[in-house]
Amino acid sequence: MKILLITQWFEPEPTLKGLAFAKALSERGHDVQVITGFPNYPGGKVYDGYQVRAAQREWHGRVEVCRVALYPSHDGSGIKRALNYISFAASSCLFGVFASRKADVIYAYHPPLTVGMSAALIGLFRRTPVVYDIQDMWPDTLKATGMLNNPRALSLIGRICQWVYRRASALVVLSPGFKKLLQERGVPEEKISVIYNWCDEAALTGPQSHQVPAVMQGRFNVVFAGTMGKAQALDAVIDAAALVAEKNQEVQFVFVGGGVDVDRLKSLAKQKSPSNVVFLPRMPMHEVGNVLSGADVLLVHLRDDPLFKVTVPSKTQAYMAVGKPILMAVRGDAATLVERAKCGLSVDPESSVEIARAVIAMSELRADELERMGGNGLDFYKNNLSLNAGVNEFIRVLNSVIK
């Protein structure tokens, strides 16, 4: 196949369906051309070594990457964020219509929605089928995270989504719950495929130094790794840590990463549970792998919101891939995945009592029982969630829309 891959974010930016995905398709004999922007995420400033221009081509093995102009921004300004999205959509659409190679199929990564609009227009002008990969359910996510609350704007975005869905030949979603939501919104079931995400396998499961941070040594460590913001609602976890401290002084909660809530959570932990809560700074993925390898239990937690019942947080796959037991404090599809894999326990989110009870129960398990849980997760990941498994499924879907 000749595949045109459109994504606003691509290496060296942190991204899921980036160079590893493109190379995996190429290694299976497919011709891959990428349209993306000049790297500026997440800081909003163009990376060193790059300068925004009308277009720039570069090669990564047999993968051709075409970078097009955009307005670099990723701050709190809604207007600047909109300019960032719209500028890339316009540039990618023009390049795709007039300068890209003829493709058999277009693959487009969402978010943002504007990428789907660009792909739909390119597909219309070039008479090429589009496979649309939906990673965020807009406008639901915008409303749930507080990014946008204007009813008229949310309604407009919803209508644009429906137009993109109709134009796409196939849709790919990351969970069964996403598929159900799309069906409720009138998308035919046969048009939707569920393909679970994979993790950054090269960074997380490659050779590690195994230098577990000194602060974690000699303790039973419950680790939360990732963004700490409103959606994660980690106050309940701090409260749980205080409850656990009353029962077992050997258990320690370790938070690693960044986010808008870090400073507030540090203050809360100092007040409520200073003896068993540790914060580690944001670090490169290969260093995060060292922290995860030193964990006894890995924690996933999101706010108790209906939207999160139909999503699978990306850290779930990373946790499974490192072969550690998981405590899943998210309702719905994510909890079901852990139960299917038999790799941990699930509890209600934002319930400090339930979280504390589960942590204490897991700390009392034998080492071989914890190891068995982690091994179950690793096996499940390899067979169902890995890059290899996902690419095989994507090739099936891409082939299915080519006439």
pTM: 0.86
Q: Does pLDDT of 217 surpass 90? A: no
- Cα–Cα distance list, 129 to 186, 192, 235, 395, 400 (Å): 20, 14, 46, 14, 10
Given a contact cutoff of 8 angstroms between Cβ atoms, the answer to whether 372 and 343 are in contact is no
Q: Please indicate, yes or no, whether residues 377 and 332 belong to a single structural domain of this protein.
A: yes
Q: Please indicate, yes or no, whether residues 153 and 226 belong to a single structural domain of this protein.
A: no
Specify which residues 133 forms β-bridges with. 109, 172
Q: Please indicate, yes or no, whether residues 238 and 353 belong to a single structural domain of this protein.
A: yes
pLDDT tens readout for residues 325-369: 999 999 999 999 999 999 999 999 999 999 999 999 999 999 999
Q: Does pLDDT of 207 surpass 90? A: no
Instruction: Name the amino acid, one letter, at 166.
Output: R
Q: Please indicate, yes or no, whether residues 217 and 154 belong to a single structural domain of this protein.
A: no
pLDDT band at 144 (very low <50, low <70, confident <90, very high): low
Q: Does pLDDT of 208 surpass 60? A: no
Do the bridges between strand 251-256 and strand 192-194 make them parallel or antiparallel, or are there none, so unpaired? Answer: unpaired
Greater pLDDT, 44 or 147? 44
Q: What are phi and psi of 187, to 5 degrees?
A: -80, 130
Alpha-carbon distance of 343 to 11, in angstroms, equals: 31
Looking at residue 81, its pLDDT comes to 83
What DSSP string describes 222-264?
A: EEEES--SGGG-THHHHHHHHHHHHH-TTEEEEEES--TTHHH
- Cβ count within 10 A of residue 392: 13
Q: Does pLDDT of 115 surpass 80? A: yes
- Cβ count within 10 A of residue 55: 13
Averaged pLDDT of the chain = 92
HSE-CB for 275 with a 13 A CA cutoff: 10
What DSSP string describes 173-206?
A: ESSHHHHHHHHHTT--GGGEEE------HHHHHS
Given a contact cutoff of 8 angstroms between Cβ atoms, the answer to whether 265 and 296 are in contact is no
pLDDT band at 139 (very low <50, low <70, confident <90, very high): confident
Given a contact cutoff of 8 angstroms between Cβ atoms, the answer to whether 72 and 52 are in contact is yes
Q: Please indicate, yes or no, whether residues 220 and 353 belong to a single structural domain of this protein.
A: yes
Alpha-carbon distance of 357 to 236, in angstroms, equals: 13
Given a contact cutoff of 8 angstroms between Cβ atoms, the answer to whether 181 and 212 are in contact is no
Mean pLDDT of 207-213: 66
Q: Please indicate, yes or no, whether residues 85 and 146 belong to a single structural domain of this protein.
A: yes
pLDDT tens readout for residues 240-280: 999 999 999 999 999 999 888 999 999 999 999 899 999 99
What CATH number should be reported for the domain holding residue 152?
Answer: 3.40.50.2000
Looking at residue 206, its pLDDT comes to 61
Looking at residue 365, its pLDDT comes to 96
Looking at residue 205, its pLDDT comes to 66
Q: Please indicate, yes or no, whether residues 54 and 67 belong to a single structural domain of this protein.
A: yes
Q: Please indicate, yes or no, whether residues 85 and 181 belong to a single structural domain of this protein.
A: yes
Count of domains forming the chain: 2
Q: Please indicate, yes or no, whether residues 231 and 359 belong to a single structural domain of this protein.
A: yes
Dihedral sign for Cα atoms in the order 202, 206, 211, 214: positive
Given a contact cutoff of 8 angstroms between Cβ atoms, the answer to whether 148 and 139 are in contact is yes
Domain that residue 224 falls in = 202-384
Q: Please indicate, yes or no, whether residues 267 and 365 belong to a single structural domain of this protein.
A: yes
Q: Does pLDDT of 69 surpass 70? A: yes
Looking at residue 283, its pLDDT comes to 86
Q: Please indicate, yes or no, whether residues 29 and 150 belong to a single structural domain of this protein.
A: yes
Alpha-carbon distance of 380 to 20, in angstroms, equals: 21
